[in-house]
Structure 1
Amino acid sequence: MNNNHGNIDKARPRRGLLKTLAVSSAIAGALVLGSAQAMAAQTWKIQSVWDAGTVGYDLFSEWCDGMEKKSAGELVFKCFPAKAVAADNNALFDSVRNGVLQGMNPFTLYWSGKIPASVFLSSYPAGPDQPHQWDTMFYSLGMLEKTREIYEKFGLFYVGPIQHDANIIHSKVPVKSLDDLKGLKMRVPGGMVAEVFQQFGVSTVSLPGSDIFPALEKGTIDAADYVGPAVNYELGFSQVTDYILFGPPGVMSIYQPVDLMDLTVNLRAWNQLSPELKQLVEDEVRIYSQKHYLTIQKRNIEAMEKFKADGDTVTRLSQDDLERFREAAIPIWFKWANKDEDARAIFDMQLEYMMNDTVGYIDEEDIKGMQ
């Protein structure tokens, strides 16, 4: 009996220890669960400049919806179409800076008035005109790191470029050379693009995208630049114009051939992510860039068949026209590069690249006397 009592007495501390371990395990499990829930609570509100119902927004929304699964529930992207939270581009920029939104998906060129260097973060007249050239500059030649340094001054983090498409011109009259542009009243985006076209006698007009169709329909303008064939067909341009102007074979546009978008986020929100999550977001932007670009290109091919079926005719500028256009553009490149030191730093990278023999767009004679 005494021995049994002794065994019972010895068992009691063991049972107490087991209870303690069980409680500790439960607490640890609760802490782990709470930590996971806290990580899952990181939700970013991201507004795109694409309107709801467009192919651009559908693609971006689908990508955002997939982030929660890819991050194992640690990061959620809540996507909004144009004007849903911020009413215009200025409000969008400020909303991300102030943390009302954690991110945005704009056309990078929109910020040329706020960040002069951004005019060189998307294609410009007669500059680098192939998508791979822009990926090379960003990801291999240091332009991404310099861009992030510039954006951080504004409380923003530039995650990466998103390849979109070229911008093209629709006109009521045939344009077969730069000389045919003289006297035309044409909608263009303004800035550097407008300044170069004005060198060839074009009367440039700035209009929002929603106003282009009625202006062409009424004859207020003779021609209009906008995005690529897929979107422009959806906007009804084949109903109000008869001609589409491309660059030389292989170049859809000589003035804005690689119209880049990007993902830019609030710097504080970015710094709250773990290194692993940061890497995931960066990798996913590069993957999405390719998907977005290739999907748009497929839609462009389909849209061109529709334009032709509607009676539209494609005209192309020559290689000589491209050289003339570049000659007119070069002084304007330097004018914009001299707006501030950041713009100069980005342009210097691109100038060196364009002068490299692997590209060969310009040489020392082309820029003689320019600084």
Structure 2
Amino acid sequence: MTRLIKRRSALRTIAGAGAATLAAPHIASAQGQTTTWRIQTSWPGGAGLQIFKDWCATIVEKSGGELEFQPFGANDVVGDFQLYDAVRNGVLEAVNPFTIYAQGIIPAATFLTSYPLALRNPHEWDVFYYGLGGLDIARELYAEQGMHFVGPVHHGPNIIHSKVPIRSIDDFRGRKMRLPGGMVAEVFTEIGAETTVLPGSEIFPALERGTIDVADYVGPAVNYALGFSQVTSYISMGPPGFMSLYQPVDLMDITVGMDAWNALSPQMQQFVEMETHVYSDMHHAAIQKADQEAWGLFEADGVEVTRLSQDDVELMTEVAVPIWFDYANRDPNSARVFKIQLDYMQSGSLGYVDPALTEGLTLNL
């Protein structure tokens, strides 16, 4: 017991020394030295940031003092859209971004995360990544950009807040709606919404002023903390069991600069891969727990939850399918990734997409 206490005390001393060398972390393979990674998440605060920091704090002891994660919140070191430049240039060793942010340098990243009416549950994305070859393709594409894609991290659905009740997709027609752009915006534009792109920080004032009637954003816990119950009276969801039509899951990931990754031993690389699985599970469950608590707060504030029907799901799928093909055909790797997912969605396992919906549509493989 005495030896264990002394060892833990030594690990804390080493971790503290690593933290003191933030400006120039020392990556070494020599026995007894700690590799310190600066790792920044896209979470600016709240439950997401705390879950991330709690996980990072476990790494030095779990790794026997070989590796330490020094966590930073959104914008603490660089802006969200500079995360990939930061890991490629060594400003950060690793990042925990929303995967969609990579689409600026890796077009196929559009299909490495949730898109409207596609794979609808976290385990389906795990099947894609760990069973159907998605992880190998992601690593290939990231390696071309000087980065190593360690693995996906599950978050949760995004939801829609509204000043008016939305009980069918017809109710979106003519509504001024904030969306993140891309495929999501095209689907809602197709069903008649007047879409606009706003950063998250501008959603509350836009709803308050009446500039927009409807807004999507992340999950209940975060949105409640942002005050959305003060400026909207309704939350629109899919049918029971389908929390969000347009983004029923949300994916983050752990990405590492290639130099930092290659400096690790094969054993430590395997450790980081295993810990990414652990973090994904912890992160997803903890976010859902926070969301469960938030529902009661929305109800107490008089916010009503409305649900679309299964018919609405099928109609929106018809709208989404040609848009999927359009985006997939903009880039050969996008088509390659999408083909795997389409085959899965049309298989007996899922059956989300009637083959009739893809008749006459082709992929540029």
TM-score by length of 2: 0.90
Aligned residue in 2 for 1:213? 204
**SS of aligned partner of 1:248:** coil
Aligned residue in 2 for 1:60? 52
Choose which of 121, 143, 150 in structure 1 pairs with 2:141. 150
CA contact (8 A) 2:177 2:193 kept: yes
Aligned residue in 2 for 1:46? 39
Aligned residue in 2 for 1:37? 32
Which aligned pairs between 1:276-315 and structure 2 lie closer than 5 A? 276-315=267-306
Aligned residue in 2 for 1:200? 191
CA contact (8 A) 2:81 2:101 kept: no
Which aligned pairs between 1:223-262 and structure 2 lie closer than 5 A? 223-262=214-253
Q: Distance in 2 between matches of 1:179 and 1:327?
A: 15
Structure 1, unpaired ranges of 5+ = 1-33
Aligned residue in 2 for 1:70? 62
Q: Deviations over 1:226-256 (max 9, x none)?
A: 0011111111100000000000110100101
Aligned residue in 2 for 1:17? none
Q: Deviations over 1:191-214 (max 9, x none)?
A: 000001000111111111111111
**SS of aligned partner of 2:104:** coil
**2:359 is equivalent to residue 368 of structure 1:** yes
**Root mean square deviation, CA, Å:** 1.2
* CA drift at 1:180: 0.4
* CA drift at 1:362: 1.2
* CA drift at 1:114: 2.0
Q: Distance in 1 between matches of 2:190 and 2:138?
A: 30
Structure 2, unpaired ranges of 5+ = 1-28
Q: Distance in 2 between matches of 1:363 and 1:273?
A: 46
Aligned-pair identity (%) = 54
Q: Distance in 2 between matches of 1:233 and 1:222?
A: 17
* CA drift at 1:113: 2.5
Q: Distance in 1 between matches of 2:105 and 2:237?
A: 31
Q: Deviations over 1:36-71 (max 9, x none)?
A: 234x1x11111111114x110111011111111111
Q: Deviations over 1:110-156 (max 9, x none)?
A: 12222111111111111011111111111111111111111111001
* CA drift at 1:271: 1.1
Q: Distance in 2 between matches of 1:212 and 1:247?
A: 22
* CA drift at 1:35: 2.6
* CA drift at 1:90: 2.6
**SS of aligned partner of 2:298:** helix
Greater Rg, structure 1 or structure 2? 1
Aligned residue in 2 for 1:84? 76
Q: Distance in 1 between matches of 2:281 and 2:62?
A: 18
**SS of aligned partner of 1:277:** helix
CA contact (8 A) 2:100 2:112 kept: yes
